[in-house]
Every structure is written in C-alpha cells, then in structure tokens.
Structure 1
C-alpha cells in the first residue's frame, strides 16, 4: 500500500528517491548533456582540436559561466523538486551555450539551436500519465457539495490555469488523488481565476503577484480544517513547498485514509480495494 510505504520511509529518503526516479529519464539526461555541451566540445580533445583554434576557455567565457551559476542559484531558490531545479538550470545554461557558440561561429550556434529544438519536440518533459480521481468544480457547486455530505473529507486545490506553480503542482495532486481516493475521502479543484467570488470567499488571492497559488485546503465535517500555504499572525503568506511528501505529512493523509477506510461499509471497502488493485 502507498500509505504504508510513505509511513515507513523517512521524508529525506523519500525526497531523494523520488528525485532520482524523476530525473533518470531520457528528457533530463539529454537536457543536462545539452547544457554542458559547449564546455565539453571546447575543452575535450580531440573534439576541440577539430572545431576550434584551441582547447582553452577564455577569461570572458569563464566569467559568463560564473555569472550563469549565480543566476541559477537565484532563480532556483523557490523550486520544490529536483526535476524543476534541473529544468530551470538547463534552460539558462542552454541560452548561454547558444550565445557562446554564436560568438565563436554562427553556423555552430544554428546547429546547436536546431538540436535543442529537436530535443524539445521529440523528448518533451515527462508528465504524470496515471489515473486521477479529481472533481472539477464550478462556482458555488463546491460549497454545495461540501455541505451536502459532511461525512466526506475533501481536499480542494484552488488554482489558476495561468500560474506556473499551479501547472507544476497539477501532476502531484493527480497522483495524490490516485493514491488516497476513497468514497468518503475525495479530491477536487476549483479554478479561482474564473470564479473570483469563490476566491474571495475562501480568501485566496488571485493577483499575478499572489503567493497563494496554488492553495490546498482540507475540509472535514463540512468545515475548513487546515490549508497550505498558511497565513502568519501578521497576515502574510508562509512559504510552502508543494512536494508530495510534504503534503502527505502535513495533511496527515495516511491517518485520514485509514480513518475514512474504517468508516466504509464492508462492501464498499472491497470495491475500493479492487479499484486500487486495478
């Protein structure tokens, strides 16, 4: 069972294991290779002998690489997964590679850009393709559904389609719904960019500078029990890393799953077990 595995495995080990699994795929391996390609062809003999006049990086090129490292560190401060960190780092590195190739030889830059384009087309970023059990709500339907049956525990993701953090979180939420869904433990989503009234009702800021997207709220007995990101006593948003393990631990998914499953009739327990096995 997923819940038992998550309970027995320490969070740090879980994070490293999930990170390793997510990046050891053709997309990320080739992306890393493209990111260091200029350094390799410019310093490794006999490749550099054939392509360039010498096999040494110039002082200006070293300065650009150092500047790249600083940019990557600054831009990756808020990334929550290994895959996201690598994606951002590789994006800036490939731009610099293109500039460096262009400064030396324009045809080299053209070929490198073409290879990057082919990589984007034929080796796209992997996404979660498993099953999901998510109900997509519109407007007041969410409030009505939560109030309709207070025995059902709901986890609702308030998101905006234009928000990159929401896009990155979508596969994680889908996977959580697949792992923990029960008839009385449900997952739902509401696009607050389309339903401003509900965004205001649930106190979710939808501005382009909002730090509340996405917002995850747990409802039990028809009432909000907790949310992430939380608000501080001063009314500011507390930064939160939306990793799968953080959510499972902070929202106590394993305990909720076990409690909800015990409350199900025997016939429905068997039905849920069959669904998980399939």
Structure 2
C-alpha cells in the first residue's frame, strides 16, 4: 500500500508581510517579512525564546498578529483561518496523545474530528508511511519518545494536508529516531507537501531544509539556503596544544587574511575562518610555527552562525 499526497497548485505557501506579535508589552515577533515556498521544506532556526513557536502558531491562525498580514495559500489570515486549517497539519512540541488509547485509537479519534473519508484505510496508509504498522494496537503510554513523535506526525497527516507544520520535530528522541523522522519529512516533500520545521539544531536545518529563516529575539536575521548560511559562518579549526604554544600560534596567525577570530579553549585554540579560506592553508601555517597534539576541522555551530550574521550585513 502506498500513499500519494496531492500537492497544492497555486501561489507560495506562506507569506509574512511586516508581521509583529506582541504579548502585553513584550514583542515576540518584530516586523517579520518572509516567504515560504510551496513544495519545499522551510526551516525556522533559532534558540529557545527566538519566536519560532509563535511564528508557527501565526501560520495556523492560533496567534493573531498585532500588525502586518499573513497569507497562506493566497488566503489572508485570520479571515479564512477556519477553512485553511483543514489544509494544514500541525505537530507542536507536546505530542498530546491519549496514553490509555492505542495508536489506532488515537488516530481514529483524530480522523473523526477531521471527518476523514475511509478512516480505517487512511489510518493504515499513514501508519505504513511512518513505519508504524507494527505499533497499531500498542498503547501510547508504552511507546518511546521517537515513536510517540511519529504517531503525532501520522495524526497530522490523516487529512492529507497541503502544509505540514512541525515544531521541534526531533525533540527528546534518540539518534536513530531522529534520522527516521528526517527521512519521513523528506518523503513528504518529495510527494509534494510543503513542510515548515522549527528547530534550534543547526545540523537538523542543514539536513532537511531548502531554505532557512534564522530568528533571534523575535527578529529575522536572514532567510537563505543552508549552503549560503554555512558559507557565511565559515568553518572552525580546533587545535589541541599547550597554553604557551597557543600563544605562539596566535601571534603567528594574527592579521592573516581569512581568519575571523581566534579563541582560547580548555584544550587549545579554536580558529574561526571565513567561507573563502581553505583550512589546510591555515593548518600549514600553524605547523610551521609550533608543534601541536592534534587538530580537526568542523562546521560552524549555531552560536557562530549568529555571530557571523551580526558581524556581516545581510
């Protein structure tokens, strides 16, 4: 049995035009303008408190903006929110399953709320899609965190939504479950579903997303492809060495082109490079100036991405 999800044919899936959301005197979203492409996976990246959940809630109509407009499938919110919700599947951070019910019973109840046609057949389809067929009659209380997350995704897919919104898709799950969920989301995209994913994990955004919108304290820092985001942040060369050796290396590299900054760490140094410099070139200079215990090259982490966005104009 296979599941074919019919893509929505029309304008961009979601458009924010100067959207501001306030709770009391606190600004949660600050003049956000953003377009999410149809048939793509858009990531909303940022630390806790950045405004990610509020942004997702605004798309569903659950949170009304204080200013600005939101368009979903070319319809304005909140005027058409009730109709549009029938075309949106949502998975928020809390899975909110009924622990005393089985997987099938949880999905059957949700199917009745959406008046899903042929509910038994449709439940079987989404269970197969999420590799949950062998958990049909297992009570929710006995499922692991990763399985509960997949059941929540299955529930959101019952009515074959054009748009799937997921807040922290792999929150609290193990590595194996994390990659399984990623695989399911990629399949949905390939089938034509538009997916919006919020996360505070840079590697998750890089693994899944066609475009990444980066939020910090309610402001949109940038919206671009993951490759451009990583190139902007550059890479990091971690060098293991003694403190005195680190000072020697720092002196040798000071003023060299392509080095953004050098930070001392408990094990040595972290040398941050822009996206145009080849780490091998810097490592050769390091080895010419001192003897080190080891080194590795890694991509930027989320904190380094934020630093690069603050240092370089968007």
Q: Does the TM-score normalized on the shorter chain lie above 0.5?
A: no
TM-score by length of 2: 0.26
More strand by share: 2
TM-score by length of 1: 0.28
Larger RCO of the pair (alpha carbons < 8 Å, separation 6+): 2
